[in-house]
Structure 1
Amino acid sequence: MDNQVYLKILKCFGAKGTRFTTEDLARELGTSKRTVYAYFSSKDEMIEKTIDFVFSQIIQSDTDILEDAGLPIQEKLRLYFQNIPDAYSIGAIIRHMDDFQRYYPRLYEKVNHHLDMIWDGAIELVEEGMNRGELHQVDTVILKLMLNETLKKLLDYEFIAGHQVSFESGTKAMSDIVLYGLIKAESS
């Protein structure tokens, strides 16, 4: 399946949420509804495969970082935090979670499952670094909670608009706080 199809579904989804129609997608693709149904058997399948597409891209790029044996843990962590997902793609999905919960409960659970796992690689790196004595000891349950909740807030349009922060600046600030902390290192 051409990635452009998923990007067009995301565009329709971003504009209308779960209320987009097959006709909307066909118009976006410059094709017929019949052609759309040659790719997908139902609207549910369109949405589910698009969710899978978005999260598989995130998982693959995170895996590439985690499996790079030539990088020290600190560099892997820096890269992992710089590899924050595209705000539009994931935000288009998150913004319509109420509709998912109401009309597509199985897909709602799937998105939540993906979001709950999005920081697992970073947590594994932190635990490995702590075990090696390369990182400070921290409570990884609380760290993961902080990361999950911050990401969800940064994907919430009302929060972003109300606090005049962009997704990109917010994720950079979050990663800087996690990676470099609040207290300046004492000079020797």
Structure 2
Amino acid sequence: MSRERILDITHQEVIRSGFRFSMNDLSKQLGMSTKTVYEFFPSKEDLLKDLLDASLTEIVQKEHQLMSDASLSLPSKLRQALVMMPDDLGMFDLRRLSELQRYYPAVWSQLDLFITNHWDEIRQLVHTGQAAGELRSFDTEVFVQVYIGGLYRLMEQSSSGSWNGSTLSAALQEMVDMLLEGVLPKEGP
């Protein structure tokens, strides 16, 4: 049994039942004792941190590939970077994220740090676009805070049950469309 297999089964369990699964249930799915699972991961929180690390690493790798893709325009890179998610969105379902925040605050804190601090590439992209005239001049820090605030508000709405059931990916797409294009109809020629 490997750490990767445990992480894979844990990921499947998060998708199936959320973050409130028991280590005993997980060990049964793995066909091993709970003690053996704890030999790989001293706590459920350590297991969830590693699971989150893998997703965040994937996002960073995808972002680097996106930024180095010379075939994409700057506005296209900006749009894609703002809606970037890991390939498997199970952990990033809006209901799952609010559950993570409520029951595993240390793991949530790790994600929160990523969300609030991982903006260097976007800032650089915006500054490059503004200098080249591809983007109008605007306060990048206000833009970042509006995005973060919108993301957190989507998660709050999800946890209160007042959300329409949309995925995080779909909600981010809608929010980014509004941020980049506004809400007024485009005027014709």
- Of the candidates 84, 87, 90, which is equivalent to residue 88 of structure 1? 90
Q: How far off its partner does 1:64 sit?
A: 1.2
Question: Deviation digits for residues 112-150 of structure 1, max 9, x if unmatched?
Answer: 111213554333322221122110111111111111122
Give the corresponding residue for 2:164: 164
Secondary structure of residue in 2 paired with 1:155: helix
Q: Is the 8 A contact 1:6 1:50 kept in 2?
A: yes
The one-letter code matched in structure 2 to 1:187 is G
The answer to whether the aligner puts 1:66 opposite 2:67 as a matched pair is yes
Task: Report which stretch shifted further, 34-43 or 50-59.
Answer: 34-43
Deviation at residue 108 of structure 1 after TM alignment: 4.0
CA contact (8 A) 2:101 2:108 kept: yes
C-alpha distance in 2, partners of 1:64/1:34? Answer: 40
Aligned residue pairs total: 182
Contact 1:81 1:175 in 2 (8 A): yes
How do 1:1-188 residues align onto structure 2 when only pairs under 5 Å count? Answer: 5-13=6-14, 15=17, 17=19, 20-85=21-86, 87-91=89-93, 92-101=96-105, 104=106, 107-156=107-156, 157-158=158-159, 161-167=161-167, 168-188=169-189
Whole-angstrom CA distance in 1 between matches of 2:185 and 2:97: 38
Q: 1:140 to 1:67 in 2, by over 3 A?
A: same
Q: 1:80 to 1:48 in 2, by over 3 A?
A: same
Distance 1:132 1:3, change over 3 A: farther
Q: How many angstroms apart in 1 are the aligned matches of 2:112 and 2:83?
A: 22
Separation in 2 of the partners of 1:93 and 1:108? 8
The one-character-per-residue Cα deviations of 1:25-77 (angstroms, maximum 9, x if unpaired) are 21233333344245324333212211211211222112211122332211212
* Partners of 1:4 and 1:150 in 2: CA distance: 35
Task: Name the CA shift for 1:84/1:47 in 2 (closer, same or farther; >3 Å).
Answer: closer
Provide the C-alpha distance between the structure 1 equivalents of 2:118 and 2:166, rounded to a whole number of angstroms: 20
TM-score, normalising length: structure 1? 0.77
Superposition RMSD on alpha carbons, in Å?
Answer: 2.8
Unaligned runs of at least 5 residues, structure 1: none
Which runs of 5 or more structure 2 residues have no equivalent in the other structure?
A: none
Over the matched positions of the two proteins, sequence identity in percent amounts to 23
Q: Residue type of the partner of 1:137?
A: S
Q: Is this contact kept in 2: 1:119–1:148, CA < 8 A?
A: no
The answer to whether the 8 Å contact 1:66/1:76 transfers is yes
